[in-house]
Amino acid sequence: MDFFNYKNGELFCEGVPAAKIAAEVGTACYVYSKATLLHHYRQVADSFKELNPTVCYSVKSNGNINLCKVLAEAGCGFDVTSGGELFRALAAGGDPKKMIYAGVGKTDDEIRDAINVGIAAFNIESEAEIENIDRIAGEMGKKAIGALRVNPDVDAKTHAKTTTGRKGNKFGVDIDRAETFFETYRNLKNLHVGGIHIHIGSPVYEVQPYIDAVAKVIELIDTLTGRGHKIEWLDLGGGFAVNYKTPDQALPVTEHAKALVPMLKGKPYKIALEPGRYISGNSGILLTKVLYRKVSGPKNFVIVDAGMNDLIRPTLYESYHHVWPVKPDAKNLFPDRNADRLPVDGEVVDVVGPICESGDYLAKDRSLPKTQRGDLLAVFTAGAYGFAMSSNYNNRPRIAEVLVDGSTYKIIRRRETYEDLVAAERI
């Protein structure tokens, strides 16, 4: 569900016309819906409420401090993967006691900073890391808290670059080594390992991989408990998918909860969740303007002012994002954005950007209504891993971000300038 809808022949974000934002802010730009962001956070929290979970929004999906502030004010915690993400979460008003620190390569300085602010826990990825955190906490004269990230060897059936729960992935400790891990580090002086963490990948479109992973981990916890280890919480990770292509492509989180809550209800350990994409994905669109049209051999190109530096997912992950005019003609109003519906009198085009790379595209072989120079296009479901993965490649200033709240909007990140491109280099 989102709050981007066509009304009176044009696209609105909540109560604001997208064309109005484009005219006043310029293109390309990201536009977010506050109502959508909060809807999906609350849907996660409500779906799992019988477990009283700690929901930790994954900052890496979209770390704008203004979006994080909205979530923090709603009671959301944060999953961070770097010192910068920890800084952002704190700047947004996040509660350190609701922050979980993940990642395979935490530096000593990052570990010290996290211990100092009093995060809820580190997700620990290896034997070397647990020894290092214990050492650093001891040098600081403080106690650290951790959860072992277990790799359950479950196929999430997602993209090879975003699957994280199989043997051979760089994340976590193989589940068949977990018992030995706990036995080896039973008596650490400065680090208390009292939890288990899993994250099998993203986006995950099916429920069964979660069922399989949770079943394996419940069995592991039972075994550890029998050996005298007290497991105080289980972090289920995130990865719930969203509808990129069609309205029914992904299951709502309510369906995942229906399967998982009965498995976990009544367990003597707390539950945490780390959704990112599910909260932020549908909350944002990318607005871009048509610059030129071009024919090359059998291909028709629509060249726009947004490029792979603004949205890298299509070329990095071969990802599909629905693209549609902001003001389509009356024959082509598709409020449900169903990718299988073909436009009337349309054409098949590649929507490409200005970057000097053949991989610079937003959509390939896409059926769209005919467009002309100056027309606005909306790239949907761009709130997650859109701006967060953007860059200055080709020395392009990063674009503006806008947050809509009802009938008003505000710029929550200004468009960069050329001076911004070289400011850090002026020595």
pLDDT at 282 over 70: yes
Domain boundaries, the chain: 4-32+281-425, 34-278
22-49 pLDDT, tens per residue? Answer: 999 999 999 999 999 999 999 999 999 9
Q: Please indicate if the annotation marks 219 as binding a ligand.
A: no
pLDDT at 163 over 60: no
The predicted structure's pLDDT at residue 375: 98
The predicted structure's pLDDT at residue 176: 85
85-98 pLDDT, tens per residue? Answer: 999 999 999 999 99
The CATH architecture assigned to 34-278 reads Alpha-Beta Barrel (3.20)
Rg (C-alpha) for the chain, rounded Å, is 23
- Choosing among 2.40.37.10, 3.30.56.10, 3.30.2320.80, 3.40.50.1220, the CATH entry for 4-32+281-425 is 2.40.37.10
Q: Please indicate if the annotation marks 393 as binding a ligand.
A: no
With cut-offs at 50, 70 and 90, classify the pLDDT of residue 336.
low
Q: Please indicate if the annotation marks 276 as binding a ligand.
A: yes
With cut-offs at 50, 70 and 90, classify the pLDDT of residue 164.
very low
Q: Annotated active-site positions, please? A: 356
Least confident range from 96-100, 278-282, 344-348, 414-418: namely 344-348
Mean pLDDT of the chain: 93
The predicted structure's pLDDT at residue 332: 74
Q: Please indicate if the annotation marks 357 as binding a ligand.
A: yes
| pTM for this entry | 0.94
With cut-offs at 50, 70 and 90, classify the pLDDT of residue 165.
very low
With cut-offs at 50, 70 and 90, classify the pLDDT of residue 340.
low
Q: Please indicate if the annotation marks 341 as binding a ligand.
A: no
